[in-house]
Amino acid sequence: MSKNNILCEVNSVSTILRAENITKKYNYEMQNNILEKTCFTVEQGSIQVIKGKSGSGKSTFLSIIGGMEFPTSGKVYYKNESLYDLSDEKQSKIRGEKFGFVFQSFQLIPELTVRENIELPLILLKRKKKEKLKESVNELAKELGIGYQLDKRPSFLSGGEQQRVAIARALITEPEILFADEPTGNLDQTTTKSIISLLTKLNKDKNLSLVIVTHEPNLFQTPHYLYSLKNGKLERMNLNV
Ligand SMILES: Nc1ncnc2c1ncn2[C@@H]1O[C@H](COP(=O)(O)OP(=O)(O)O)[C@@H](O)[C@H]1O
Ligand SMILES: [Mg+2]
């Protein structure tokens, strides 16, 4: 049995997300599939780290399991519902309420203050009253070490602080899974370490599931699964953490 088949079979009561035989080709002129019948599961409260060369399909894979990009074939199940077979409305509800996303380039809105950036997803979900919203942002920003930056615009913050703002924005909806695509790619070594320890603390304190694409897999001290994406397939690596 190949390693990949083992990944396809992993499934337990704590599985919240499952990708089955994901194949991806952006257009039919492409000779090779970017992803080739690959499988993956996310268990509640787990940390999954994916590494792979540039162009190996990591961002594509993360977008597919995060509900942002259709696979060419294969299924993504969120709690046993086939994500891409749901109505657009249900898909965006799951994306907005259950998933959080963080990117290498932070993707903050420069015209908005830090506070406005963080509260945006909740305003879009229309879930909280104004007073309560302010309180939640204050609390989360304080926890993430950016409490004193709330009234500034993102460009006045350091790279590490901007990424903390992006993480706060992803967490304000209290998602179950945080997807992070090279979240430390633009940061120096010291800041990278502090962001990785912040993510692992959030995993521990909030039982937040993490799926992280990173070039720095060695920085994780907490138990986690490590995968390598190669030739369109994910392989689980052995770890001694
Ligand atoms: N929207 C797109 N349209 C066409 N090709 C794409 C698109 N996005 C990515 N690709 C191609 O898919 C391959 C994998 O890209 P990507 O998932 O970004 O890899 P990674 O994140 O590992 O660097 C690359 O060859 C890239 O050029
Ligand atoms: Mg990428």
Query: Which tens digits make up the pLDDT trace of 169-185?
Result: 999 999 999 999 999 99
pLDDT reported for residue 2: 47
CA 94 to ligand 2 centroid distance, Å: 23
Predicted local distance difference test score (pLDDT) of residue 1 = 42
177-191 residues labelled b (16+ CB within 10 A) or e (exposed): bbbbbbbbebbeeeb
pLDDT, residue 31, reads 82
**pLDDT of res. 240:** 62
Distances 20 to 2, 35, 37, 159 between C-alpha atoms, Å: 15, 12, 7, 36
* Among the listed residues 15, 203, 12, the one whose alpha carbon sits nearest the alpha carbon of residue 100: 203
pLDDT reported for residue 96: 94
Q: Which of 28, 32, 60, 212 gets mutated to test ligand 1 (max ligand atoms within 8 A of its CB)?
A: 60
Protein residues near ligand 2, an ion, with CB under 5 A: 58-59
Nearest CA to ligand 1 atom 9: 60
Q: What pTM does this model have? A: 0.93
Q: Tell me: domain 3-237, CATH 3.40.50.300, correct?
A: yes
Where are the domains positioned within the chain? Answer: 3-237
Q: In which residue ranges of the chain is pLDDT below 50?
A: 1-2, 4
- Nearest C-alpha to atom 26 of ligand 1 is from which residue? 55
Q: Which amino acid is at 229?
A: L
- Length, in residues, of the chain: 241
